[in-house]
Amino acid sequence: MQQLHSLNDRTVVNVETACSESTAAEIGAAAEAAHACAAWWGASSRHDRSRLLQDLATTLEIHRQELVSMADDETALGTSRLNGEVGRTSYQLRRFAELALKGLPFQVVDDPAIADPPPVGHPAMQMNLVPVGVVAMFAASNFPFAFSVLGGDTASALAAGCPVVIKAHPGHPRLSRQLFDLVQGALRERNYPPGLIGMVQGAGVDVGMTLIRHPLIAAGAFTGSTRGGQALWAAALARPQPIPFYGELGSINPVVALPHVLASDGANLAKTLATSITQGCGQFCTNPGLLVLMDSPETNAFLDHLRKELSVIQPHPMLTANMKKAFATGIDHQLAAGAQVLLQAEDQGRAPGPHLLLASAATFTTNEALREEVFGPSSLVVLAQDFREIEQVLSAVGGSLTVTLWGVDADTSQNRDLVRKAVSVAGRVLFAGVPTGVAVTKAQHHGGPWPASTAPMSTSVGDAALWRFLRPVCLQDAPAWLRLRDGQPC
């Protein structure tokens, strides 16, 4: 049986053997235990769901110091960043607790009977929402709290009335186990069954595949690589009874900056962008991996500023040795595909130096290798000759979590075309700032057309994440006792 080791990410020394990889029997037992809770939790009240989510947030906050220390050992993300992430995670839990208490999962569309003949006349109908069932949640490497054991997928699924089985990420196995133990303690405090929130662990593909293929799993939620997410998505669709799979996958997040905005504020924008490219060692799904600029004197001056800003930044070590290797391979692929080096800073062990590469719009649009995500502190500059080439570059990118447009403030036909193109390929379009940093809000949409996600109409961040795990059901001529439940399932 394979052992999962907790690795100190700075010293590259095993801290301890965190756990053993879950067996097929253990994965099946977790799915069965969760399924045994599904009808009970699906019929739970808004108060019960809210109280549990509030309890989990409080538990996280009480144990913040020890959890942050453990996470820093395994990820080297730094205590400041990790403390902020704990705050975000507890906020997510409390926000979904509030949404549950307000009755968002129990919304009803009431359509009273009309006695007229068809097509105007119809029976009494109610559109209700019911939980889909057990959700398999695949934790991410780069956010050990906010997209992990108690992350947004877990919070939104619980608020929707769905039990969860978490596939913990092997990049932080000790932290995942500690979080899970705290979760189980919170469940015991309320005398809730432990199967309501289950967890399995493993470094290979078998554990995830076994989980998503289990017949009692009703939906999947994933944050990670395009390759891994696509494999799980295919497995979910190939089941005898296919299930929805909400995968948030790779994205290169183009930033388009027009010459006039670079002329007026190029130095400040370069500083902001350099911080965004290297934040978290570039290990953000919203990292600005593509800069689309006009070939102009203003762009040349801006790139000089950007090189200077990047050259003095030394990112921290990457989350795993495999990620560092994949980052180096991605840079090599871009160079082999015709990109040129603008900046290639020296590595410091597991900590890569920032990279800035350059290609023409024509080279980019004809070479698929330049459109692949490079997960790390790098960005590819693409020089366009006109607005038409900028639109061609965005078309070649395909689906993206974000597109940022700097300098489209005036209502012109060219700017309208750029906005139209950006909206067609992205789930979120920014007109100021940088894409790193995804606020948990009512209007947030963290998704996008393929390959950004497998379900572009859904979001993995924000209030609407709840809808992924609810299914509409029309009740026709329902008895009075059922209508009086106000949307709470039986």
**In this model, does residue 14 exceed pLDDT 90?**
no
Q: Which candidate in 285, 298, 373, 389 is catalytic?
A: 285
Query: Positive or negative CA dihedral for 346, 350, 354, 359?
Result: positive
Backbone angles phi, psi at 326, to 5 degrees: -65, -35
The DSSP bridge pattern shows strands 290-294 and 254-257 to be: parallel
Q: Does residue 441 sit within a domain?
A: no
**In this model, does residue 6 exceed pLDDT 80?**
no
Q: Does residue 448 sit within a domain?
A: no
- For residues 232 and 288, membership in a common domain is answered with no
Read off the pLDDT of residues 217-242 as tens digits, 9 standing for 90 and up.
999 999 998 999 999 999 999 999 99
> pLDDT over 90 for what percent of the chain?
89
pLDDT at res. 91:
97
Which has more pLDDT, 84 or 282? 84
Which has more pLDDT, 7 or 339? 339
- For residues 239 and 276, membership in a common domain is answered with no
pLDDT at res. 321:
83
The DSSP bridge pattern shows strands 164-167 and 134-138 to be: parallel
- For residues 208 and 316, membership in a common domain is answered with no
Distance between CA atoms of residues 83 and 201, nearest Å: 24
Find the mean pLDDT for residues 71-95. 95
Q: Does residue 403 sit within a domain?
A: yes
Read off the pLDDT band of 323 (50, 70, 90). confident
E strands, 269-411, are: 290-294, 340-344, 355-360, 378-384, 400-406
The DSSP bridge pattern shows strands 290-294 and 378-384 to be: parallel
Distance between CA atoms of residues 356 and 67, nearest Å: 35
> CB 1: neighbour CB atoms within 10 A?
6
- For residues 211 and 107, membership in a common domain is answered with yes
pLDDT at res. 76:
87
Q: Does residue 259 sit within a domain?
A: yes
Q: Does residue 439 sit within a domain?
A: no
Read off the pLDDT of residues 282-296 as tens digits, 9 standing for 90 and up.
899 999 999 999 999
The DSSP code for 118 is T
Read off the pLDDT of residues 375-425 as tens digits, 9 standing for 90 and up.
999 999 999 999 999 999 999 998 999 999 999 999 999 999 999 999 999
pLDDT at res. 349:
79
pLDDT at res. 84:
96
- For residues 95 and 223, membership in a common domain is answered with yes
Burial code (b: 16+ CB inside 10 Å, e: under 16) for 473-485 equals: eeeeebeeeeeee
Read off the pLDDT of residues 153-163 as tens digits, 9 standing for 90 and up.
999 999 999 99
Read off the pLDDT of residues 330-383 as tens digits, 9 standing for 90 and up.
999 999 999 999 999 988 877 899 999 999 999 999 999 999 999 999 999 999
- For residues 334 and 394, membership in a common domain is answered with yes
Distance between CA atoms of residues 218 and 133, nearest Å: 5
- For residues 103 and 143, membership in a common domain is answered with yes
Q: Does residue 489 sit within a domain?
A: no
Peptide bond into 170 cis (omega under 30): no
Find the mean pLDDT for residues 309-328. 89
**Tokens representing 476?**
């026709």
Side chain identity at 466, as an amino acid letter?
L
CATH of the domain at 335: 3.40.309.10
Q: Is 248 a catalytic residue?
A: yes
Read off the pLDDT band of 80 (50, 70, 90). very high
Read off the pLDDT band of 204 (50, 70, 90). confident
C-alpha 13: how far from chain center: 29
- For residues 276 and 164, membership in a common domain is answered with no
Range of the domain at 235: 3-249+453-483
**Tokens representing 219?**
């939906």
- For residues 140 and 199, membership in a common domain is answered with yes
- For residues 144 and 279, membership in a common domain is answered with no
Number of domains in the chain: 2
Measured between alpha carbons, how far apart are the two ends of the chain, in Å?
42
Burial class (CB in 10 A: 0-12, 13-18, 19+), 349: exposed
Read off the pLDDT of residues 137-186 as tens digits, 9 standing for 90 and up.
999 999 999 999 999 999 999 999 999 999 999 999 999 999 999 999 99
pTM over 0.85: yes
Q: Does residue 443 sit within a domain?
A: no
E strands, 122-216, are: 125-131, 134-138, 164-167, 197-200
pLDDT at res. 62:
97
Q: Which candidate in 21, 74, 85, 248 is catalytic?
A: 248
Distances (CA, A) of 466 to 95, 105, 192, 343: 11, 8, 22, 42
**Tokens representing 288?**
């600005």
pLDDT at res. 348:
84
pLDDT at res. 266:
95
**In this model, does residue 25 exceed pLDDT 60?**
yes
Q: In sequence order, what are the beta bridge partners of 111?
A: 125
Read off the pLDDT band of 8 (50, 70, 90). low
- For residues 239 and 264, membership in a common domain is answered with no
Q: Is 162 a catalytic residue?
A: no
pLDDT at res. 471:
98
- For residues 199 and 243, membership in a common domain is answered with yes
Distance between CA atoms of residues 357 and 44, nearest Å: 54
Residues sharing a CB contact under 8 Å with residue 45, sequence separation 6 or more, in sequence order: 488
Place of tokens 């920032």: 354
pLDDT at res. 5:
62
Distance between CA atoms of residues 385 and 259, nearest Å: 12
CATH of the domain at 467: 3.40.605.10
Describe the crossing of helices 64-75 and 173-189 by its angle, rounded to 10 degrees: 160
Read off the pLDDT of residues 38-53 as tens digits, 9 standing for 90 and up.
999 999 999 999 999 9
pLDDT at res. 115:
95
Helix, strand, or coil here: 8?
A: strand
Q: Does residue 436 sit within a domain?
A: no
Read off the pLDDT of residues 114-143 as tens digits, 9 standing for 90 and up.
999 999 999 999 999 999 999 999 999 999
Find the mean pLDDT for residues 470-475. 98
Burial class (CB in 10 A: 0-12, 13-18, 19+), 351: middle
